[in-house]
Chains A and B, each alone.
Chain A
Amino acid sequence: DVKVTQSSRYLVKRTGEKVFLECVQDMDHENMFWYRQDPGLGLRLIYFSYDVKMKEKGDIPEGYSVSREKKERFSLILESASTNQTSMYLCVSGWGVGQPQHFGDGTRLSIL
């Protein structure tokens, strides 16, 4: 079974902190993605990566950055957390070419 592991299920941070969300997959997938999910807004793409040290902006990259130093790990960074970044964050990994993408269980992040 594919395993996409997000480091925390629940996280509480303060405004202005630098926050790291970690995601690890064990299937040697090339593609990894970060989404956030908010009530009424659905799932929105933040950043994605097709290879090590490669990154692409999604639909809502402002206030975020990412790091992919190793193939299996894709980190989402909130440079200076704000209350409007309180959300559920979902990591996804998979192959391309007509193959499914697999989700982690999500990190519910609260910024106070």
Chain B
Amino acid sequence: AQTVTQSQPEMSVQEAETVTLSCTYDTSESDYYLFWYKQPPSRQMILVIRQEAYKQQNATENRFSVNFQKAAKSFSLKISDSQLGDAAMYFCAYFNFGNEKLTFGTGTRLTIIP
């Protein structure tokens, strides 16, 4: 079974600084998708960024970028120029064509220090 591990239950960063959230996953598949979702205190989860496993280029969305290391099965999220609105739970998620469901990590709670 696929598993997703987020080893940092909590992280904090000074406003305007850069923070990296870690995610590793376990799979025997070669074709899959990886996602980072954000869940602010209001509870509505939203997609931050996604990566197709067949693409070597790391995905980027404005201040958010990933470091995708397929061989190491690592998928970290970098947030640059952190803003107060970035405070949230961040979930790493994995999807493959075999079981066709999203498997989530346990989340990392990110606090932004003004």
A complexed with B: no
* Chain A interface residues toward B at CB < 8 A: none
* Chain B interface residues toward A at CB < 8 A: none
